[in-house]
Amino acid sequence: GENVEQHPSTLSVQEGDSAVIKCTYSDSASNYFPWYKQELGKGPQLIIDIRSNVGEKKDQRIAVTLNKTAKHFSLHITETQPEDSAVYFCAASKLGAGTASKLTFGTGTRLQVTL
Binding residues for other proteins, per CB under 8 A?
A: 1, 6, 9, 32, 34, 36, 41-46, 49, 89, 93, 95, 97-103, 105-108
- What is the CB neighbour count within 10 angstroms for residue 51? 12
d(CA 46, CA 51): 14
CB 6 within 8 A of CB 111: no
Q: How far is the CB of 14 from other proteins (least distance, A)?
A: 25
Q: How far is the CB of 29 from other proteins (least distance, A)?
A: 14
Toward other proteins, which CB reaches closer, 62 or 105?
A: 105
**Nearest to other proteins of 81, 107 (CB atom):** 107
To the nearest whole angstrom, how small is the minimum distance from the Cβ of residue 31 to other proteins? 10
Exposure pattern of 27-37 as b/e (b: 16+ CB <10 Å)?
eeebbbbbbbb
